[in-house]
Amino acid sequence: MTNVLVIGASRGIGLEVAKQALAAGYNVRGMSRHPCAVAANGATFEAFTGDALEPQDVQQALQGMDVVVQSLGIAIGPDMIFKPVTLFSKATRVLISEMKQAGVGTLIAVTGYGAGDSYDSIGLLQKLPFRMLLQNAYDDKSAQEMMIEESELEWLIVRPGILTGADQSGKYRVLVEPSSWRNGMISRADVADFIVRQTGSRELMGRKPVLIDLAF
């Protein structure tokens, strides 16, 4: 049975991934700074309290794992707008180093539409608010993506559009080719659905798909 480490498992996409991975029969270790609990039916859930920026915590969390899902987030507020953001790149630097040492070779990382080379596909009307509100965070997400791409890991970068709290539908677009990239809404539960499906697949490894609802 595949063992999955979810970094950022206490809320958002990470929590949804942990729930759905358990439902799919995977053993899940959920790492977060605050304790988290997920009901497990048949599979195993292990809560691991640790800091994604601390190499020793990450090293311990990786023991016995086969796949890592990295889903980090920051609070939306003045600090994100007016101060440099470094969480994503720093945590990814630690994670890649520790994964190599632990012999864990597969990473699925959640960034977002607008990170890396997907920024060029943002419409002109959207770029102004994007730069005002999200530029600092997405500059760091872009650095995060570059580290992952340059690593020797087997990787998949997941770029959701605007996140919502809607229920899982299983109906969404997976935009793989750069010419098709565009913004749209998608629920955290559907992003998690995609990630869990890819956990047991190698079809999209080395790709950076954008995820949006079918309505967009």
Task: Supply angle C-alpha 174, 69, 138, rounded to 5.
Answer: 70
Residue 39: the pLDDT is: 60
Confidence of residue 131 (pLDDT cuts 50, 70, 90): confident
Residue 47: the pLDDT is: 92
CATH of the domain at 46: 3.40.50.720
Confidence of residue 81 (pLDDT cuts 50, 70, 90): confident
Q: What is the pTM (predicted TM-score) of this model?
A: 0.94
The number of folded domains in the chain is 1
pLDDT at residue 102 is higher than 90: yes
Give CA–CA dist 199/177, Å, rounded.
21
Please provide the DSSP assignment of 96-117 as one string: HHHHHHHT--EEEEE--TTSGG
pLDDT at residue 37 is higher than 80: no
Give CA–CA dist 94/99, Å, rounded.
9
Neighbours of 188 (CB within 10 A): 22
Question: For the residues 101-120, what does the mean pLDDT come to?
Answer: 96
**Two tokens at 42?**
């048949």
Confidence of residue 95 (pLDDT cuts 50, 70, 90): very high
Residue 188: the pLDDT is: 98
User: Mean of the per-residue pLDDT values for the chain?
Assistant: 93
How far is CA 180 from its chain centroid? Answer: 21
Residue 74: the pLDDT is: 86
Please provide the DSSP assignment of 152-182 as one string: SSEEEEEEE-EEE-PPP-S-EEEE-SGGG--
Cα 146 to Cα 88, 89, 107, 205, distances in angstroms: 11, 9, 14, 15
Domain that holds residue 79: 3-213
pLDDT at residue 120 is higher than 60: yes
pLDDT at residue 84 is higher than 80: yes
pLDDT at residue 93 is higher than 60: yes
CA atoms within 13 A on the CB side of 40: 17
